[in-house]
Amino acid sequence: MTGDTLPGPAEVLVVGEALADVVDSRGSRRVHPGGSPANTALGLARLGHRVRLATRLGEDEYGAVIRDHLAAGGVALAPGSVGAWRTSSATAVLDREGRATYTFDVHWDLCPRSAGLPAGRDFGHLHAGSVAALLDPGAERVLAMVRGAPPDVTVSYDPNLRPALLGSPEEERPRVEGLVALSDVVKVSDEDLGWLYPGADPLEAAASWVRNGPSLVVLTRGARGARAFWRHGRLDVDAVPVEVADTIGAGDAFMSGLVSGLLEGGLLGAGQLQLVRATFGAQPAPALVTALERAARAAALTCARFGADPPTRAELAAFTP
């Protein structure tokens, strides 16, 4: 494993797709392991957390590359995660600024064995999102896992929408909002909200979400940084300047950095429900500020290198922008 496993905090269960990112840039093609939930799981493991990923991979070349990549980073696969007839893929075409446009070959379902929630106290936080939370038939199993999480287990959600695989905003909005209402922490991009609520101000949309269930909603805005909302306050977080290689996986690295910081700050995880059960005042808790700063730094480091390659704990500690 690339980082030391932290004592104390319970295991994180991540549910969602793992796929091959085929990156087409300036005439060259590279294959990287990817998929938003898998990237988030890898980011958490590299930051020292015990992570299990419930996903679906094929017994093919892409699947082998992804399995080896996750195992090297310290991510354990839930039973039933391997066995699909082929591994899903996404082809990313990069523009001159390193921004990616995707086309997808995705087939998503979740084996019933993978969808069973782990027993015991080694499971304190559940993360879900992206394609897996909205693409049938697997989306129904993901929703069942979120609904079935024990009452003292915290939940995070990242919509990370892929319109090419979805219906219209009007069709998808109720499902997204339903998952938001079931979650304790939500991270969402301005691009996601711009698609989901055409013509609306993403800042206003994110602020409305925090009134409908979550204790914390964080809106990421690319080079403009991020804004965190809670019921009685908000906080802006500056983007960390770096020379951008590409932006692939930056949002997932932000998500893993955020969850990592909240877990370590005692704000998430089984038995650590200060964030969820308490109401923030006008001033942010110091642990929240630390978690947001960790998230921004993790995203910046990922932007500075090619592909979805989140930092290890040591790299994050040594990073000097």
Question: Cα separation of 240 and 131, whole Å?
Answer: 28
Query: How far is Cα 39 from Cα 147, in angstroms, rounded to an integer?
Result: 23
pTM of the model: 0.90
| Residues, the chain | 321
Q: Cβ distance 76 to 52 under 8 Å? A: yes
pLDDT of residue 119: 53
pLDDT mean over 242-264: 92
Residue 53 has pLDDT above 90, yes or no: yes
Across residues 52-68, what is the average pLDDT? 93
| Phi, psi of 279, rounded to the nearest 5 degrees | -105, 125
What's the confidence (pLDDT) of residue 31?
Answer: 80
Q: What is the amino acid identity at position 303?
A: C
pLDDT tops 90 at residue 205:
yes
Instruction: Examine residue 320 and state whether it is found in any structural domain, yes or no.
Output: no
Looking at the DSSP assignment, which residues form a beta bridge with residue 185? 156, 216
Helix axes 250-264, 36-46, angle to 10 degrees: 50
Q: What is the mean pLDDT of residues 16-23?
A: 88
Distance separating alpha carbons of residues 44 and 261, to the nearest angstrom: 10
Q: Which residues have C-beta within 8 Å of that of residue 96, sequence separation ≥ 6?
A: none
Instruction: Calculate the average pLDDT of the chain.
Output: 87
By mean pLDDT, which of 1-15, 119-133, 201-215, 305-319 is the weakest?
1-15
Question: What's the rounded Cα separation, in Å, for the pair 210 and 213?
Answer: 6
CA max distance for the chain: 52
- The answer as to whether 2 is a domain residue is no
What is the pLDDT at residue 2?
Answer: 44
- pLDDT at residue number 107: 87
- Residue 61 included in any domain: yes
Which residue range is the domain that position 267 belongs to? 11-309
Contact of 243 with 256, CB cutoff 8 Å: no
Domain assignment present for 76: yes
What pLDDT does residue 287 have? 87
pLDDT of residue 308: 83
Are 88 and 108 in contact by the 8 Å Cβ rule? The answer is yes
1 in a structural domain: no
Could you tell me if residue 6 is inside a domain? no
Question: What CATH number is attached to the domain comprising 192?
Answer: 3.40.1190.20
As for how many domains the chain has, the answer is 1
- Is 5 contained in some domain? no
For residues 85 and 101, what is the distance between their CA atoms, to the nearest angstrom?
A: 26
Cβ distance 18 to 70 under 8 Å? yes
Whether the per-residue pLDDT at 173 is higher than 70: the answer is yes
Q: Is residue 36 part of a domain?
A: yes
